[in-house]
Chain A
Amino acid sequence: MKYDILNYADTRSGFGAGLLEAGKRNDNIVALCADLTGSLKMNAFASEFPERFFQTGISEANMIGMAAGLTIGGKIPFTGTFANFSTARVYDQVRQVVAYSQKNVKICASHAGISLGEDGATHQTLEDIALMKALPGMTVINTCDFNQTKQATIAIADYEGPVYLRFGRPKVPNFIPEDMPFEIGKAIVLEEGTDVTVIATGHLVWEALLAFDELAKEGISAEIINIHTIKPLDEEAIFKSLEKTKCVVTAEEHNILGGLGESVAGVLARNKPYPMEMVAVKDTFGQSGKPDELMEYYGLKSKNIVESVKKVLKRK
């Protein structure tokens, strides 16, 4: 592959860096956090702009409502808490006063998926993409590394409308070049190939690149596409690649139901079907363990992508 590991960093720190940068560029940006400022890496923003930072305590529902209210008067609120508490816990609030009310709120969620590790299934949301993409008008973004998360955070500040930005806890390879453009709703072709398309989001993007190398050794040419914006989905990029490769594997750290894979499957089913396999968590809850152990156990590693590619190639 043509990407190097620049360093190991957590995507949540990319969010913190992006939030600070966005805050410096635009005085209207405000941030709210429900007692997880350290975990969300919002400290830098909070100390740089104390008057624009609202510590709500452990009251996520109130935080979402306050964020919607802050838009009335021209503020651009970024809320921060874990993914589970950003979605399932406050779904009705997000639905009524953010999505249905068309408020310019950025719901920023860390610790998504199973890779948060030892805290276990209460905190490991694997349903959040499904919930958020079902809301009309909601943009859903899942970033893959520090640099992309930082860029996405800055990009959503300039975008008018509600956004769900999903990222994670562990330190992972940071490989997206700092100067790679980030455009909401635009897929990134990371590697070109001709035999199979692999569409990955979040932490699975690096695994997809590792799979690219492994497949290349066996003479299989994979096209690796990073879809960071799950909604709206870049259908054009998907079909452009599939017209060439004729089969696809999706990869995500989410339940197989309701995630990126189902979004891609829906687009194919409604337009032109191609053989498809999905790498995702098979409709189960997570458990405590080390992030890497869990990714291995739930089948979210490069070898699982390789297996799925071989399977889908046989169905071509």
Chain B
Amino acid sequence: MSTIKELKDISSQVRRDIIRMVHNAASGHPGGSLSITDYLVALYFEVMDHNPEKFDMDGIGQDLFFLSNGHTSPAFYSVLARSGYFPVKELATFRKIHSRLQGHPATMEGLPGVRVASGSLGQGLSVAIGAALAKKLNNDDKTVYCLTGDGELDEGQIWEAVTYAGGKNVDNIIAAVDYNHKQIDGDIEDVLPLLDLNAKFTAFGWHVLETDGHDMEKLLETLSIAKKETGKGKPVMILLHTVMGKGVDFMENDHKWHGTAPNDEQTEKALAQLLETLGDF
């Protein structure tokens, strides 16, 4: 059991990693990565039952996580490394040639912790459902987690998957939406309004929860409720109310930071706002 303070300290370090990785690569997606950081830290450092030291693809007897919005790979890689899947120093290779840390997560290079490629949006939830069904067939009572972006919900395949899991009672899955209201071209409300997401998922047969996606106590509480709701005939959806660019004041709520790397000066300014708690890579 980690304390809230310990988890917050990890989040701060992960945010530093994100800024430094994207700066180092001079490319990547800081906005959404900063937005999902607290949720991933809660999952990997407190909630999930997993075995980072001995990664195997099948993950039988373990909770599994699928990142559908693969462009937030900096957050994913940092959390994987910091929780022990691979050496932290490898974060320095992000987006470099011959690295296991591809721009978007991939299995081809054998990076421990990644079970499927993601990047082309809208596909991760379907994969998570398949993995959840495999767990049922294997009488494996662990849970499958999946995270999607909010802009990603524009994709039709998401709603095929949502229809399937709700209609066919795939109740060992906890999905979450990083609801930061921003996508590449601007505000969700301007690009393509999602309307009442809670009502939509509820209508599709999901048990829907909502929480502040940055308040660690509330995140843990919500995940605990979500876990209790599994096995009751409905898949669980958590709407994470988040802020794009969270933790770096000049990046917050600005969609231009979806896929832009900070320059040297901006990096310095960003890092000054984020405490180094576990040592930089």
Contact = CB atoms under 8 A, between A and B. Distances in A.
Are these two chains actual partners, yes or no? yes
Nearest to A100: B117
Interface string A15-53: 000000000000000100000000000000000000110
Nearest to B115: A72
A101 B109 CA distance: 10
Interface in B119-169: 119-120, 122-135, 137-138, 140, 156-157, 160-161, 163-164
B107 interface: yes
A73 B107 CA distance: 16
Interface centre among B66, B125, B137 (most CB of A within 10 A): B137
Contact of B131 (A57, A64, A72, A95): A72
Interface of B: 57-60, 64, 66, 106-108, 115-120, 122-135, 137-138, 140, 156-157, 160-161, 163-164
Contacts of A59: 157, 160-161, 163-164
Given A61-B126, A69-B126, A69-B128, 17 more contacts: A30-B137, A56-B160, A59-B164, A61-B122, A61-B156, A62-B160, A68-B127, A69-B133, A71-B130, A73-B134, A73-B138, A75-B134, A96-B118, A101-B106, A101-B107, A102-B107, A103-B116
Contacts, number: 119
A219 interface: no
A57 B164 contact: yes
Contacts of B163: 57, 59
A156 B198 CA distance: 43
B123 A93 contact: yes
Given A65-B127, A68-B130, A97-B127, A73 B164 contact: no
B116 A72 contact: yes
- Label chain A's interface by main secondary structure: helix
Contacts of B117: 96-97, 100-101
A96 B130 contact: no
Contacts of A72: 57-59, 64, 115-116, 127, 130-131, 134
Contact of A74 (B58, B115, B160, B164): B58
A64 B126 contact: yes
Contact of A66 (B59, B115, B118, B133): B133
Contacts of B128: 69
Nearest to B105: A101
